[in-house]
């Protein structure tokens, strides 16, 4: 995903989880299979994105979304970001997304 299309992506998806990563980051490389599995598990329910926020074309995202280090994971609800502070396993992220879905559905 690129800076040029992130706004459209967020506008078209009620709930989105995005990992902002850097290709050189070891933690990001370790997280990649978990993010892939999360995307597969939640396909059709929630969109999962990954953004190379260290690339020259995406550097502005670091400021825009207050990216302090890599990986940074944010959950967007109606385009508004919040920091994901949970575990980095597929199950932990899935649990948080499902909790967010429940809250949005119930209006809380």
pLDDT tens for each residue of 90-99: 999 999 999 9
Q: What is the pTM of this model?
A: 0.92
CATH of the domain at 73: 3.40.30.10
For every residue of the chain, DSSP letters joined together read --HHHHHHHHHT-SEEEEEEE-TT-HHHHHHHHHHHHHHHHTTTTSEEEEEETTSGGGHHHHHHTT--SSSEEEEEETTEEEE--S-SSHHHHHHHHHHHHHHHHHT-
The whole domain housing 14 covers: 3-106
pLDDT tens for each residue of 53-66: 999 999 999 999 99
- Asked about 86 being catalytic, the answer comes back as no
- Asked about 26 being catalytic, the answer comes back as yes
- Asked about 107 being catalytic, the answer comes back as no
- Asked about 27 being catalytic, the answer comes back as yes
pLDDT tens for each residue of 33-56: 999 999 999 998 899 999 999 999
Looking at the structure of the chain, the number of domains it has is 1
Set 25, 39, 79, 86: catalytic member: 25
């Amino acid at each position: 995903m690129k800076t040029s299309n992130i706004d459209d992506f967020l506008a078209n998806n009620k709930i989105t989880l995005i990992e902002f990563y850097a290709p050189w980051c070891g933690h990001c490389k370790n997280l990649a299979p978990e993010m892939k599995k999360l995307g597969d598990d939640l396909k059709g329910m929630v969109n999962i994105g990954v953004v190379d926020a260290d690339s020259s074309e995406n550097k502005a995202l670091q400021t825009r979304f207050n990216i302090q280090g890599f990986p940074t994971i944010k959950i967007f609800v109606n385009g508004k970001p919040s920091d994901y502070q949970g575990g980095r396993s597929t199950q932990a992220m899935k649990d948080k997304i499902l909790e967010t879905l429940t809250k949005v559905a119930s209006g809380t």
